[in-house]
Amino acid sequence: MRKSAHKSGDGRKRERRERREYRRKKICRFCTDSSLRIDYKDYRLLRIFLTERGRIIPRRISGNCAKHQRELTIAIKRARHVALLPFTALPR
């Protein structure tokens, strides 16, 4: 009985591996487009990298490189401090 349960677990692992093969590598939009600059005053650009609750989107989801993700995080925190961006979501 345990062996059959173990085999079904392997099937799930195989399915996960197959799904990963189809994912395309995300590219950093700041590396590809040199005209884009990360600036804390540009709140419209920074808003793209925030969730609806005001949290910073991680780089595995946004596709940014490590260098630009660090710059983006600093810019978002500065914009929050100057009150251009919210720290949290607005209450409804």
User: Using only C-alpha atoms, what is the Rg of the chain?
Assistant: 19
Q: Is 56 helix (H, G, I), strand (E, B) or coil?
A: strand
What integer is the mean pLDDT of 66-72?
Answer: 96
Q: What angle do CA 62, 34, 38 make, to 5 degrees?
A: 55
Whether the per-residue pLDDT at 46 is higher than 80: the answer is yes
Q: Can you say how many angstroms the Cα of residue 84 is from the centroid of all Cα atoms in its chain?
A: 21
Average pLDDT over all residues of the chain = 83
* pLDDT score of 89: 82
Topology (CATH) of 25-92: 30s Ribosomal Protein S18 (4.10.640)
* pLDDT score of 84: 93
What integer is the mean pLDDT of 43-66?
Answer: 93
- Give me the amino acid identity at 59: R
Q: Can you say how many angstroms the Cα of residue 40 is from the centroid of all Cα atoms in its chain?
A: 18
Whether the per-residue pLDDT at 34 is higher than 70: the answer is yes
85 vs 46: CA distance, rounded Å? 8
**What are the tens digits of pLDDT across the range 13-26?**
655 555 556 667 78
Residue 81 tokens read as 């401090």
